Amino acid sequence: METRGQRGQRADAPAAWLDVSTGALVLLAQRYERRSDTSYWYEAPRFGYAEVLEIDAVGFVQRYPGLWEASLLVE
């Protein structure tokens, strides 16, 4: 889903989510709001999760606060 746009622009982005505890595929309501060139406000009410996500220059999420953070793999 393309969510890039003007600051303050909001988009609902429903997704299919597999509940591994029941094996059911359920609707996951999500909402994104552009806050800056590198951040979005994100809400997933089903989980009570709402945080500012940090993205990189091409739009990949780099940090979901409290959940995970991308890291650079150097070999």
pLDDT tens profile 61-70: 999 999 999 9
Say which amino acid occupies 40: Y
Q: Which residues pair with 42 in a beta bridge?
A: 32, 51
Q: What is the pTM of this model?
A: 0.81
User: Tens digit of pLDDT for each residue in 36-50?
Assistant: 999 999 999 999 999
